[in-house]
């Protein structure tokens, strides 16, 4: 295989914004037709009889329970994970090629809870610390009503903060943990449209709230990447590195 260097889609202003704020929103990073095809593909995976072992769940949850690490089993999921814009942007932000260690397809149906404020590094420690998430919107609109992400700009500069029990289990999933000692009044919503990609640092404090929409879902595809010379610690299930080329 001939190696092709990654593209360089980000300009200096965008890179600076990420460095200062801990995140960057790329509008319309993926085309609507790709998103629509991927959504149909994921639906078909859970609609098989029987469901593949890696995607299997209770019948009542097959369109609500997140699909964990589809990139390990499914070629379409890997192609989205390796999207050329994502690969190029990550290489610019990390200084060299990135590799994927985790992917998740979220449904977030109406009424489902969000996740309390947290830092991804708390759950996925890696050395050296290089992890960046790419969060792709799979709906026409992702906003406050259907459970968009909220971020606290600049908090990636605080280092890893203590995490403890979730305080509001009506709003947030009870089995996760919540960042402690931080004023969340400065958090801002990240409003997104289909195909938008949010890149954010592993130390950026972020959260989501309950989906209060009556009919609107908040599907998303989220991949976590580390620099090619970095390694995941403690998590044996995330040790394998998937190349983006």
Query: Per residue in 170-194, pLDDT tens?
Result: 999 999 999 999 999 999 999 999 9
Give 115-165 pLDDT, tens digit per residue: 999 999 999 999 999 999 999 999 999 999 999 999 999 999 999 999 999
CA 140/CA 33 separation, integer angstroms: 12
22 pLDDT band, cuts 50/70/90, is very high
Confidence (pLDDT) at 2:
86
- Write the pLDDT tens digit of every residue in 96-107: 999 999 999 999
Residue 233: exposed, middle, or buried by beta-carbon count in 10 A (0-12, 13-18, 19+)? exposed
Token representation of residue 137 = 């919107």
Q: Quick one: which of 213, 198, 91 has its CA closest to 138?
A: 198
Average pLDDT across the chain, whole number: 97
Tokens of 107: 């449904």
Q: Are 205 and 182 in contact (CB under 8 A)?
A: yes
Is residue 239 a contact partner of residue 190, using CB atoms and an 8 Å limit? no
pLDDT tens, position by position, 117-126: 999 999 999 9
pLDDT in tens, 72-90: 999 999 999 999 999 999 9
Res 43 pLDDT > 80: yes
In whole angstroms, give the CA distance from residue 225 to residue 132.
5
* Measured distance CA(65)–CA(232) in Å, rounded: 25
């Amino acid at each position: 295989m001939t190696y092709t260097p990654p593209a360089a889609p980000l300009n200096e202003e965008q890179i600076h914004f990420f460095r200062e704020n801990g995140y960057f929103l790329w509008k319309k990073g993926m085309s609507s037709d790709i998103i629509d095809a991927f959504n149909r593909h994921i639906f078909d995976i859970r609609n098989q009889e029987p469901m593949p072992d890696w995607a299997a769940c209770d019948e009542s949850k097959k369109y609500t329970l997140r699909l964990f690490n589809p990139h390990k089993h499914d070629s379409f999921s890997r192609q989205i994970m390796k999207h050329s814009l994502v690969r190029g942007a990550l290489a610019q932000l990390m200084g060299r090629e990135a590799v994927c260690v985790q992917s998740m397809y979220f449904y977030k149906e109406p009424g489902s809870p969000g996740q309390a404020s947290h830092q991804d590094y708390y759950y996925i420690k890696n050395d050296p610390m290089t992890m960046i998430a790419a969060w792709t919107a799979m709906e026409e609109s992702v906003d406050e009503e259907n459970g968009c992400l909220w971020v606290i700009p600049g908090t990636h500069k605080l280092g890893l903060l203590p995490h403890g029990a979730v305080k509001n289990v009506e709003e947030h999933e009870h089995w996760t943990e919540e960042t402690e000692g931080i004023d969340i009044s400065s958090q801002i919503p990240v409003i997104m449209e289909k195909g938008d990609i949010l890149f954010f640092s592993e130390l950026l404090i972020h959260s989501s709230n309950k989906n209060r929409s009556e009919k609107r879902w908040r599907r998303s595809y989220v991949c976590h990447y580390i620099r090619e010379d970095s390694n995941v610690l403690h998590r044996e299930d995330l040790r394998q590195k998937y190349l983006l080329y």
